[in-house]
């Protein structure tokens, strides 16, 4: 353990000694709906399916955003005849992947970062290569993979200013953990510079894989039904909202209603379980609301449609002319990915708190595809300008779509960068063949 520093040694020892506590933590999370009760053993490293009998590439994304980002990479790896294992850490990401993973790809929950759990996981899956999306740095995962000679690559790598400041205070630990990566493929030059300054030895810029993710799908029959119901109405969506934003969206709706009497406001909360509370908020303000989770549709007498379901943003964006991206009017979230609505013809709005996707929003703002709003009044004004002038909204939507297309190509640069590792996998397969 020399060279790792007291912090890493303490972490390793602490997570090993607290293994019984980890099991209790999983049960606590299960009772609160944060773990899948039928797959809890996966979080302790027990596999729920057999390993395919061919070279296997392991990809990991923390939650919904990261796992969606990996989809084009998964498809390209499968075309090479490789088995693909995808891990994530949230129930919502597992549900999304169940709907969107290509046939043959396997999903498992990532084990908690306990040494024995990670050893158990790696012993079963025996991956030839591991790719970790964005900024997931788990010490036991990295150390146990290194002990088994499994190369680990950071893809779509991020290192925000906040994360950089935290790691900068622990230079020895940061340098050691980043040295465990075979390569770090950063989203931007700023990310690459921060990673290199912290000690990552092999850093390059590949671009943002999010721009290469296909637009989320929508069931054609359902889309036709809802499109018929909303034809002739100005429609906008507040997507991935968080507590504190729903009130602002409702205030904007109330301000707009006198000027746009047929207005339909769609609210898709980031966490669907908040649907009943959002509906109650609307009803308390005498706004006619309906919830999609109850099987209700945006009928003509519905003004505020709470879309509290999973995996339907592709449908909802296709119904909307304007999309506000949540997590950006309240502090601490950092803003959610605007690329999906940009690809589906929406003009974009966002609040000032977008540090998680700052460069993406800056590009959309610069090219005219998105606008920043500071509060409910500004949100109402921006929505009104675009919904009352459809030609202007279409122009902004075209600009957003153009920006999304122009910034693509990271998938090819990523595959080019990891080609030597993929060739090593292929050579190993041939050498082991009888």
Q: Please say whether the beta carbons of 147 and 125 come within 8 A.
A: no
Distant-in-sequence, close-in-space partners of 101: CB < 8 Å, separation ≥ 6: 71, 74, 86, 107
* Angle, CA 4 vertex, CA 422 and CA 138 arms, to 5°: 50
Q: Please say whether the beta carbons of 159 and 191 come within 8 A.
A: yes
Q: Which of 343, 381, 353, 350 is closest to 365 using CA atoms?
A: 350
155 DSSP β-pair partners = 133
Q: Of these residues, 66, 134, 144, 245, which one is catalytic?
A: 66
Distant-in-sequence, close-in-space partners of 300: CB < 8 Å, separation ≥ 6: 229
| Separation CA 70–CA 269 (nearest Å) | 23
Q: Give 165: exposed, middle or buried? Use CB within 10 Å, 0-12, 13-18, 19+.
A: exposed
| Separation CA 233–CA 256 (nearest Å) | 13
What the block records as the tokens of 185 is 């493929």
Known catalytic residue at 66: yes
What the block records as the tokens of 3 is 């060279």
| Separation CA 211–CA 72 (nearest Å) | 10
Chain mean position to CA 79: 24
What is the separation, in whole angstroms, between the first and last Cα of the chain?
39
Helix (H, G, I), strand (E, B) or coil at 397: helix
Q: Which of 184, 284, 236 is closest to 384 using CA atoms?
A: 236
Helix (H, G, I), strand (E, B) or coil at 135: coil
Write phi, then psi, for 292 (nearest 5 degrees).
Answer: -70, -35
Residue in the structure block whose two tokens are 């995996």: 311
Q: Please say whether the beta carbons of 270 and 326 come within 8 A.
A: yes
Catalytic residue ranges:
66
């Amino acid at each position: 353990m020399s060279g790792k520093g007291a912090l890493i040694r303490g972490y390793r020892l602490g997570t090993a000694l607290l293994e019984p506590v980890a099991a209790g933590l999983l049960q606590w999370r299960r009772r609160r709906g944060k773990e899948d009760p039928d797959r809890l053993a996966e979080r302790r490293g027990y596999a729920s399916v057999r390993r395919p009998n061919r070279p296997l590439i392991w990809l990991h994304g923390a939650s919904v955003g990261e796992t969606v980002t990996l989809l084009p990479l998964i498809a390209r790896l499968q075309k090479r005849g490789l088995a693909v294992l995808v891990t994530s850490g949230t129930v919502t990401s597992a549900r999304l992947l169940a709907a969107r993973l290509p046939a043959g790809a396997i999903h498992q929950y990532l084990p908690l970062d306990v040494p024995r759990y990670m050893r158990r996981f790696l012993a079963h899956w025996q991956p030839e290569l591991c790719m970790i999306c964005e900024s997931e740095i788990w010490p036991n995962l990295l150390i146990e993979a290194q002990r088994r000679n499994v190369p680990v690559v950071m893809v779509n790598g991020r290192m925000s200013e906040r994360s950089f400041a935290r790691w900068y205070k622990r230079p020895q630990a940061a340098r050691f953990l980043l040295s465990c990566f075979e390569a770090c493929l950063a989203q931007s030059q700023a990310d690459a510079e921060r990673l290199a300054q912290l000690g990552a030895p092999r850093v390059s810029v590949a671009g943002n894989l999010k721009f290469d993710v296909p637009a989320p799908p929508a069931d054609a029959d359902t889309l036709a039904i809802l499109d018929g119901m909303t034809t002739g109405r100005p429609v906008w969506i507040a997507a991935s909202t968080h507590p504190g934003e729903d009130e602002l969206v409702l205030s904007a709706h109330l301000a707009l209603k006198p000027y746009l009497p047929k207005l339909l406001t769609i609210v898709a909360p980031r966490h669907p379980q908040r649907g009943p509370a959002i509906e109650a908020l609307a009803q308390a303000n005498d706004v006619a609301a309906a919830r999609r989770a109850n099987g209700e549709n945006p009928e003509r007498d519905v003004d505020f449609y709470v879309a509290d379901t999973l995996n339907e943003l592709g449908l909802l964006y296709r119904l909307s002319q304007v999309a506000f991206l949540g997590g950006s009017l309240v502090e601490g979230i950092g803003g959610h990915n605007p690329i999906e609505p940009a690809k589906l013809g929406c003009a974009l709005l966002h609040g000032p708190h977008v540090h998680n996707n700052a460069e993406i929003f800056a590009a959309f703002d610069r090219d005219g595809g998105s606008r920043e709003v500071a509060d409910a009044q500004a949100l109402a004004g921006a929505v009104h300008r675009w919904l009352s002038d459809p030609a202007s909204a279409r122009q902004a939507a075209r600009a957003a779509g153009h920006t999304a297309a122009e910034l693509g190509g990271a998938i090819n640069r990523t595959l080019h960068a990891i080609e030597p590792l993929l060739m090593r996998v292929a050579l190993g397969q041939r050498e082991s063949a009888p």
